[in-house]
Amino acid sequence: MPEDGFETREDKDIYRHSTSHVMAQAVLELFPGTKLGIGPSIEDGFYYDFDLPVPISEDDLPRIEEKMAEIIGQDSLFEKYSITKDEANSLFKDAPYKLELLKEIEDDKVTIYRQGSFVDLCRGPHLPSTGHIKAFKLISIAGAYWRGDEKRPMLTRIYGTSFPTREPLEEYLHRLEEARRRDHRRLGRELGFFNIYEEAGPGLIYYHPYGTILREEISKLLKREHQKRGYLEVVTPHIAKMDLWKTSGHCEFYRENMFFMEVEGSGYVLKPMNCLGHILIYQSRTRSYREMPLRLFELGTVYRYERSGVLHGLLRVRGFTQDDAHIFCQREKLQEEITKVIDFALDMLSLFGFKEYEVYLSTRPEKFVGTPQKWDEAISSLKGALEEHDLLYAIDEGEGVFYGPKIDIKLKDTLGRAWQGPTIQVDFNLPDQFDISYIGPDGARHQPVMIHRVVLGSLERFIGALIEHFSGAFPTWLAPVQILIVPIADRHLPYAKRVEGDLLGREIRVEIDSRNEKIGLKIREGELRKIPYLLIIGDKEAQNQTIALRKRGKGDLGEVKLADFIEKLTREITKRD
């Protein structure tokens, strides 16, 4: 039996969808006049959307849970009925959201489910009865626009979860509490990493000094690692004429995610991707097969329209920077290049402490450009590279982008949660659309294949994942402040300044807490800031040219010679331990 108590995914969905119906019945009984939206199962539980006659808060959740327990105790059957659409329209005449859903159903008959006095429009299936629900918990309340449309009414969404026994529920709630403790939005504010200012616009990240240091350390590492692997760094503008995006197909297939503007009578686009700039650079002169593969890399900032309701800290934003590269290569070299990208991506994830992944291969979507034959060739190359690495992967049917199939590698953090990371896409379309070519050994023009890839992905999303993975307590090499010097009294400041100078000379990030506060308070605040090392300096340390060392997570390590500590620290940073 799996840890969560469910044999299959279908069992889990049935159980949780049934629990959502129980919650809906409880809300209707407690708040007469409520209009029902929808109530599906989701990855970790379920939700239901309500148009309530009165506002509610999380303080009301225990009351709803009590009513749910009462309904479960009644052990009412989940009964399925097939009725005509006319009968359904009459049954739900006072339920506008259900009537809207009924209009979209083409069949003459629909199914409803009844438990006790509660009736809902639903395909099912459900549990035999409410009494089969053994362990549940309501988690939170949020606002949600009806059908995800900002122009539609804002409904109240109640989230919950349920399990066949109490034990996996308790384990889940513990993980949830740990996830809340690690929430990058809270830690980002508390540790001075970033903020989002609504007056400037949602989904736009402002990095504060410590967050900028973290971002720059990651950026410097990315630049060095790309250079070592034969990538050439480029920089492209943030906007480009709309005609470019028409040629590429983005205006047709990606329009709803793009920002448009007009300048001097011409249409422009805030770039949603970096690929077209790299194509222009490729086209700037005639290319030879001797230059291939040509790997162009950019830490490029892009802008994509996301509905405000789905924005989430650093994880879902409107402006973000990608470690983006485009590889132009011969068709016969395609799988070899994909293999190298997978090596690169796994090496980078390992550097940051991510050792477990979920891997997906996304195939041709319903709307696509190019020929099925080229798609098959691209998918075959991606599969071959994955199998060469002995990577287990799942097929994500129909989830490729419009111009080609892709590999997605989702990194797993310390809580076992999956985060979107490296992506590798094969594209025969853009080389066609822009008629790019190279001169082969035969002196003739040939068309290259284009690989779109990121090895960490969006820096914003990756930093959000890092904050939660490490709970803000970064390894020393990555920590924005690596050392905090804490002098006990003002007379110890001259020696503290000398220690600071020695550390800065070795390019170690250091601060001095020179406030006129008690030493205990300064140490406690330094530890709350999750700084790897605190150096305490008093009379003895100043006289002996030493430091009293405190290490995060280990406490007081005693008196240490400054020179010895600096050498050890330098090795730790260099090795990225």
Same domain, 322 and 384: yes
What is the rounded distance in angstroms from the CA atom of residue 127 to the CA atom of residue 442? 68
- Say which of 60, 324, 413, 427 is annotated catalytic: 324
Same domain, 506 and 552: yes
Same domain, 432 and 301: yes
> Which sign, positive or negative, has the C-alpha torsion 418, 420, 423, 428?
positive
Last residue of a domain, one of 127, 152, 181: 181
Same domain, 406 and 522: no
Q: Which helix (H) or strand (E) holds 69?
A: helix 61-74
| pLDDT value for 149 | 81
Residue 192 lies in a domain: no
Tell me phi and psi for residue 509, to 5 degrees: -80, 120
115 in catalytic set = no
Question: Could you give the 3-state DSSP secondary structure of residue 398?
Answer: coil
- Say which of 21, 215, 304, 469 is annotated catalytic: 304
304 in catalytic set = yes
Same domain, 226 and 170: no
The boundaries of the domain holding residue 352 are 219-460
Last residue of a domain, one of 181, 202, 230: 181
326 in catalytic set = yes
| pLDDT value for 338 | 96
Ramachandran assignment for 277, one of left (phi > 0), alpha (psi -120 to 50 degrees), beta (any other): alpha
- Say which of 25, 115, 322, 482 is annotated catalytic: 322
- Say which of 157, 182, 452, 453 is annotated catalytic: 452
At 554, list the tokens. 């280990």
Residue 560 lies in a domain: yes
| pLDDT value for 23 | 97
Residue 189 lies in a domain: no
Tell me the residue type at 530: K
Same domain, 382 and 528: no
**CATH number of the structural domain spanning residue 560:** 3.40.50.800
Same domain, 499 and 436: no
Same domain, 116 and 40: yes
251 in catalytic set = no
Residue 477 lies in a domain: no
| pLDDT value for 1 | 47
- Say which of 326, 374, 529, 530 is annotated catalytic: 326
Per-residue pLDDT of the chain (577 residues; tens, 9 = 90+): 466 778 888 999 999 999 999 999 999 999 999 999 999 999 889 999 999 999 999 999 999 999 999 999 999 999 999 999 999 999 999 999 999 999 999 888 999 999 999 999 999 899 999 999 999 999 999 998 898 887 899 999 999 999 999 999 999 999 999 989 999 999 999 999 999 998 999 999 999 999 999 999 999 999 999 999 999 999 999 999 999 999 988 888 889 999 999 999 999 999 999 999 999 999 999 999 999 999 999 999 999 999 887 889 999 999 999 999 999 999 999 999 999 999 999 999 999 989 888 999 999 988 888 888 989 999 999 999 999 999 999 999 988 888 889 999 998 888 888 888 999 999 988 898 899 999 999 999 999 999 999 999 999 999 999 999 999 999 999 999 999 999 999 999 999 999 999 999 999 999 999 999 999 999 999 999 999 999 999 999 999 999 999 999 999 999 999 999 999 999 999 998 7
114 in catalytic set = no
| pLDDT value for 401 | 83
Bond preceding residue 125 cis, omega within 30 of 0: yes
Q: Specify the pairing of strand 206-207 against strand 406-412.
A: unpaired
Same domain, 150 and 281: no
**CATH number of the structural domain spanning residue 351:** 3.30.930.10
Same domain, 154 and 269: no
Same domain, 333 and 449: yes
At 179, list the tokens. 């996830």
DSSP state of 489: S
4 in catalytic set = no
Residue 364 lies in a domain: yes
Same domain, 238 and 329: yes
Residue 206 lies in a domain: no
Give me the number of domains the chain comprises. Answer: 3
Residue 269 makes CB contacts below 8 A (sequence gap 6+) with: 239, 240, 241, 242, 244, 245, 250, 258, 259, 260, 261
Q: Which long-range contacts (CB under 8 A, 24 or more apart) does 395-399 make?
A: 395/360, 395/361, 395/363, 396/360, 396/361, 396/362, 396/363, 397/363, 398/362, 398/363, 398/364, 398/365, 398/366, 399/360, 399/362, 399/363, 399/365
- Say which of 275, 329, 427, 550 is annotated catalytic: 275
Residue 386 lies in a domain: yes
Last residue of a domain, one of 124, 151, 181: 181
What is the rounded distance in angstroms from the CA atom of residue 147 to the CA atom of residue 257? 17
| pLDDT value for 182 | 93
| pLDDT value for 2 | 61
Residue 188 lies in a domain: no
**CATH number of the structural domain spanning residue 159:** 3.30.980.10
Rg, C-alpha atoms of the chain: 29
Q: What is the pTM of this model?
A: 0.86
132 in catalytic set = no
